[in-house]
Amino acid sequence: MMEQVFYIDLFEVYSKEDLQDLLVRELPLPDYYGKNLDAFNDVLRELGSEWNVIFYNSKFARYRLGKYFDALERLCDEACEDMQGLKIRFYP
């Protein structure tokens, strides 16, 4: 399978709901996706082995979402450590 690259612009993210709606729009998530960080973690580990996800304009979302954004970053770092083909990066 070939790597799939996703560019996700976080500039318009003001809330957890905004972030989750954006993930649903930009990533090939299953219909049953639960729109929370636990569900995102599950999907990364089930489907993300060839994903290269690039979040940009993340400084805005980091400021607006605070601890929720920190939790997202931590979850992504751990998933990337556990899964060889998964790449997720955050750019300001």
**Contact yes or no for 32/67 (Cβ under 8 A):** no
Q: Give the domain extent around 16.
A: 4-90
- Into how many domains does the chain fold? 1
Query: What's 13's domain CATH number?
Result: 3.30.370.10
Summarised one tens digit per residue, pLDDT across range 35-85 is: 999 999 999 999 999 999 999 999 999 999 999 999 999 999 999 999 999
Phi and psi at residue 65, to the nearest 5°? -100, -15
The pLDDT of residue 1: 72
